[in-house]
A and B are shown apart, each in its own frame.
Chain A
């Protein structure tokens, strides 16, 4: 019940395309859903986060879509750029404590 399932494991997108990464959770007590971006050799950095009182949050080219009834949330990267090539992790938590992370998606954007 504590797992966060993330898919796909890897993703290749053409420059300018849309990258979509999906996550699913089981624990209905989770109320905070961040996405982290990690470049090789670096620690993860917060990209965008959402709480379940909204169904969508957009920051620049990055959008989180949240479906509370399905217990799913997804990251959409519009107009994907080669600089977006990184590993993306979704996470879920109750409050701000002890995130449960997905297993990560390695995104490669082709120039």
Chain B
């Protein structure tokens, strides 16, 4: 079946603008993660959704970052008043918790803040 998809693949925005990044997880996967990958760095956990439970937002770097997951499927990561340090690749991963340990990653959205 289809893998995790993310859109847009690239986003260039001006400092101070808001951006929305979208993630479509693998159908049936109950868990969804957002990570940030800065140039030459590892993957930084941002937020985790599991079913109908309250999300784990412990990795969000500031209150300018928020995310939601509608209907237990599609997720949107919103960054308000973008700053240049927000420039990174934002990766989404989904996981069929309970059956497999594997997190399946999407191709990412490369965000550039000018």
Interface residues of A, Cβ cutoff 8 Å to B: 6, 32, 34, 36, 41-46, 49, 89, 96-104
Contact = CB atoms under 8 A, between A and B. Distances in A.
Interface stretch (B12-20, B61-69, B77-85, B94-102): B94-102
A101 B48 contact: no
A103 B37 CA distance: 10
* A interface majority secondary structure: strand
Nearest to B93: A43
Contacts of B107: 41-43
Nearest to A36: B105
B43 A101 contact: yes
B95 A103 contact: no
Interface residues of B, number: 24
Contacts, number: 51
Interface of B: 4, 31, 33, 35, 40-43, 45, 48, 56, 91, 93, 95, 97, 100-108
Contacts of B93: 43
B42 A97 contact: no
Given A49-B101, A96-B95, A97-B48, A43 B42 contact: no
